[in-house]
Amino acid sequence: MLGKKMEEAINLQINREIYSAYLYMSMSIGAASLGCKGSAKWLMVQFHEEMVHAMKFIEYVADQNGTVDFGAIAGPSGQYPSLCALFEKVLSHEQAVTASINALMEIAVGERDHATQALLSWYVTEQVEEEKNAGEIVRTLTMIGDNKTALFMYDKDLGLRTVTVPTDFSLGVTAAMKGA
Ligand code: OFO
């Protein structure tokens, strides 16, 4: 059974996760317009991951017999003069998501909601990975600077990221992840 406070907080996080997906899709278009096709692919993979993050929360609320509240998703804004500026935004966005996941965990602990704490542990671990990935990319792009040849090669590397997330959510997230 999900308490009202926890349910409302998770619903806000569902909105944030879908906003994240929306943001990364827009960044993918931004990276492509900079001529960085590999980064555009990396960001589209990130879009898929964010949809999984949202679906895991949605499924959890439904499993707990709660109400999923679908709020409006804000439109992402932002111009990215360089690939480095774009990935700096990815990093700061992920740091903000980490803070919101931590805030959810504090509510779950305060409410003695052990089931939600168990769910949130997955997100806490995931955020370590999210910040690590974005931070490494920012550091590499900073090192590359204006070296166009190095940027070309690194962008190719980023394009090697593959989709390891399900695209068929009709199975439910857990079953779909097994088939991914
Ligand atoms: Fe990128 O972790 Fe969800 O939002």
Atom of ligand 1 nearest to the CA of 16: 4
Phi (first) and psi of residue 104, to 5 degrees: -65, -40
Q: What is the pTM of this model?
A: 0.93
| Domain over 4-179 is classified CATH 1.20.1260.10 | yes
pLDDT for 37-86, tens place per residue? 999 999 999 999 999 999 999 999 999 999 999 999 999 987 899 999 99
Q: What are phi and psi of 167, to 5 degrees?
A: -110, -10
Mutate to test the pocket of ligand 1, among 19, 20, 57 (most ligand atoms within 8 A of CB): 20
Question: pLDDT per residue over 15-43, tens digit each?
Answer: 999 999 999 999 999 999 999 999 999 99
- Ligand 1 in contact with 17 (CB < 6 A)? yes
Taking residues 140-150, what's their average pLDDT?
Answer: 97
pLDDT of residue 178: 65
Top pLDDT among 173 and 99 is at: 99
